[in-house]
Amino acid sequence: MNKDHLTLTDTAKLFINDKEFDLPTTVGSEDEVGIDISQLRNKTGAITFDSGYGNTGSCQSSITFIDGEKGILRYRGYPIEELAEKSNFIDVSFLLIFGHLPNKAELERFHFQLTHHSLIHEDMKKFFEGFPPTAHPMGILSAMVSSLSAFYPEAGYDADVELNIVRLLAKLKTIAAFSYKKSIGQPYVYPRNDLSYSADMLNMMFAVPSEPYEVPKVVEEALDLLLILHADHEQNCSTSTVRMVGSSEANLFASISSGICALWGPLHGGANQQVIQMLEKIKNDGGDYKKYINLAKDRESKFKLMGFGHRVYKNFDPRAKILKGSADRVLSEIGVKDPLLDIAKNLEEIALKDEFFIERKLYPNVDFYSGIIYRAMGIPTNMFTVMFALGRLPGWIAQWKEMRETPGARIYRPRQIYTGETKRSFVPLEKR
Ligand code: ACO
């Protein structure tokens, strides 16, 4: 197969009954081969059927590479392990969005922009007042991001695109922290320009007017690591949602707001909250984790081991590997002993040896250990998915920007196989 980047090379052959059709192929820079079916319906009248899009490439992208079999994750070619060890979240955000690691001047400018756009319009504070204290912060986050389009109405792909990207990156953490303060009834803490991105977020969440507060270094570093590990993950549910909505040329804020909603679900970003709730349930039920392994194996029970399994990773999730190591370190440095960490490790150990999980290639994913670290940092469970959204934001923005910059990009519009009633006549009410 020709290795040239994204060129149409060899052809695949498709036989329908006796007829033969040639389909061009496309090859990625890591030798990933796609069969180009864009003309399939025109040529054959047939479409492909792929429930859940497990085998469907929806775009060509040069942002993130994943090899699920080998447990590889790279942003713009850089291995996640190296970025986790040597980089920081702002560096990684720039890399994802603009395609290269920033030099010193670029990084300083980016940091300056991100600090100087972190305030939200004072009128937006009134929106927070309208939510009940029990509102889930993901609902608030999504509504607030969508509301940004009322304050910056020109947020399409125009001359201001870079400014709006910076605004969104800078303001999301303020919105996230304000939604937390609102939920606990404390006064809002405004962003500070002298702090790093992660320290500022933590300061806005945990500082109170009555006493001095300094963000512990270990907590700041742990958050930065978590944000880096979540920053992009190619065409997952929320990212595809951002692209889908953005493909109609909906503005940046509307597109990202839809991604936040998609992330919220328990099968996606919401799993980090579910993992902790599951571990707590096991602990309160006497800590018998083997019972829950058996429950997960029982197809009738509908119980799933949250934080286990992944559509793409079929060997290990490299992010989970990094976080497992980090969980021990962070908890011991913060001085927290969490029985849930022991339950999680026991669950993992047993599951990895169990035929059910081995056969189905089910391994811990990024959410399995992230919640334990968030807990140790003092972040409440219902804020976990918000932290995920904060990390994923640069990835969503990069993917949205790439889509808008792709020449000839079309609105997303999948087909379907209709299985409903065939044509029938309307029945008047009295005859039904
Ligand atoms: N516990 C028990 N069994 C599981 C689990 C699990 N966590 N995950 C998958 N399985 C089983 C399925 O029941 C299925 O079994 P079967 O073949 O006997 O029917 C088999 O493994 C294949 O699973 P699918 O659901 O078909 O896999 P899919 O790729 O569609 O789903 C997903 C992947 C959604 C992540 C799934 O593994 C899951 O629900 N995991 C728990 C939720 C979770 O942790 N989500 C976070 C994912 S990471 C992220 O989004 C950041």
CATH code of the domain in which 347 resides: 1.10.230.10
Task: Let me know whether 316 and 355 are in one domain.
Answer: yes
- Å from CA of 309 to ligand 1 middle: 5
Stretch (H or E) spanning 42: helix 40-44
Rounded distance between C-alpha atoms, residue 359 and residue 356, angstroms:
5
Q: Residue 139 has which token pair? A: 């609902």
Q: Do 185 and 232 share a domain, yes or no?
A: yes
Q: What is the model's pLDDT at position 292? A: 94
- Nearest CA, atom 37, ligand 1: 309
pLDDT the model gives residue 3 = 44
Instruction: Tell me the pLDDT tens digit for each residue of 100-132.
Output: 999 999 999 999 999 999 999 999 999 999 999
Domain stops at, among 67, 91, 117: 67
Q: What token pair was written down for 370?
A: 């992230």
Tell how far the Cα of 331 is from the centroid of ligand 1, in angstroms: 28
Query: How confident is the model at residue 10, as a pLDDT?
Result: 73
Q: Could you tell me the residue range of the domain that residue 61 belongs to?
A: 3-67
Instruction: Identify whether 5 is a catalytic site residue.
Output: no
Residue 419 lies inside a defined structural domain of this protein: no
**242 & 336 share domain:** no
**In the chain, how many H helices and how many E strands?**
18, 6
Identify the domain boundary among 67, 90, 107. Answer: 67
The pLDDT of residue 1 is 39
Longest dimension (CA), the chain: 80
**CB of residue 308 inside a 6 A radius of ligand 1:** yes
158 is catalytic: no
Do 37 and 88 share a structural domain? no
Residue 362 and residue 310 share a domain? yes
CA distance 42 to 161: 36
The active-site residue, picked from 224, 310, 338, 354, is: 310
CATH of the domain at 107: 1.10.580.10
- In this prediction, residue 183 carries a pLDDT of 87
Q: Where are the alpha helices (DSSP H) in 231-267?
A: 237-246, 252-264
- Residue 338 tokens read as 């969490």
Q: In DSSP terms, which residues pair with 11 in a beta bridge?
A: 24
> Of all atoms in ligand 1, which is nearest to the CA of residue 233?
51
The residue ranges of the chain whose pLDDT is under 50 are: 1-8
230 and 157 housed in the same domain: yes
pTM: 0.92
Nearest residue by C-alpha to atom 32 in ligand 1: 310
Q: Is residue 423 part of a domain?
A: no
**Is the shortest distance between the CB of 307 and ligand 1 below 6 Å?**
yes
Q: Which atom of ligand 1 is nearest to the CA of 309?
A: 37
Do 83 and 231 belong together in one domain? Answer: yes
- Is the shortest distance between the CB of 309 and ligand 1 below 6 Å? yes
Q: How far is CA 401 from CA 38, 61, 143, 300, in A?
A: 23, 11, 21, 44
> Which pLDDT value is given to residue 4?
44
Residue 364 alpha carbon to ligand 1 centre in Å: 11
The two structure tokens encoding residue 138: 């993901």
Tokens 């020109």 belong to residue: 154
Residue 138 maps to a domain: yes
CB of 230 shorter than 6 A to ligand 1: no
Starting at the edge strand found earlier in the chain, the sheet holding 64-67 runs 64-67, 72-75, 78-79
Q: pLDDT at position 125, please?
A: 92
41 lines ligand 1 (CB under 6 A): no
Cβ(108)–Cβ(94) under 8 Å? no
Helix pair 384-405, 89-98: axis angle to 10 deg: 30
Co-location of 395 and 349 in the same domain? no
**Is any ligand 1 atom within 6 A of the Cβ of residue 305?**
yes
Alpha carbons 136 and 180: distance in angstroms, whole number? 9
Could you tell me if 279 and 350 lie in one domain?
Answer: yes
Task: Please give the pLDDT value at position 336.
Answer: 86
Task: Establish whether residue 272 lines the binding site of ligand 1, counting it when its CB lies within 6 angstroms of any ligand atom.
Answer: no
Residues 214 and 281 placed together within one structural domain of the fold: no
Residues in a beta bridge with 167: none
Q: What is the CATH number of the domain that holds 8?
A: 2.20.28.60
Q: Is residue 366 part of a domain?
A: yes
- Does residue 278's CB lie within 6 angstroms of at least one atom of ligand 1? no
Question: What is the pLDDT at residue 315?
Answer: 86
Same domain (yes/no): 44, 191: no
Residue whose CA is at the smallest distance from ligand 1 atom 4: 304
Q: Which two tokens stand for residue 86?
A: 């040597």
Domain for residue 404, yes or no? no
Which residue of 56, 264, 308, 312 sits with most ligand 1 atoms within 8 Å of its CB, as the best mutation to test the pocket?
A: 308
Based on the fold, state whether residues 215 and 286 are members of the same structural domain. Answer: no
Q: Tell me how many domains the chain contains.
A: 3
* Residue 408 domain-assigned (yes or no): no
> Is residue 84 a part of any domain in this protein?
yes
Q: Is the CB of 367 under 6 A from ligand 1?
A: yes
In a domain, 195, yes or no: yes
Pocket test for ligand 1, best of 279, 323, 357, 365 (most atoms within 8 A of CB): 365
- Helix axes of 89-98 and 104-116: crossing angle, nearest 10 degrees: 100
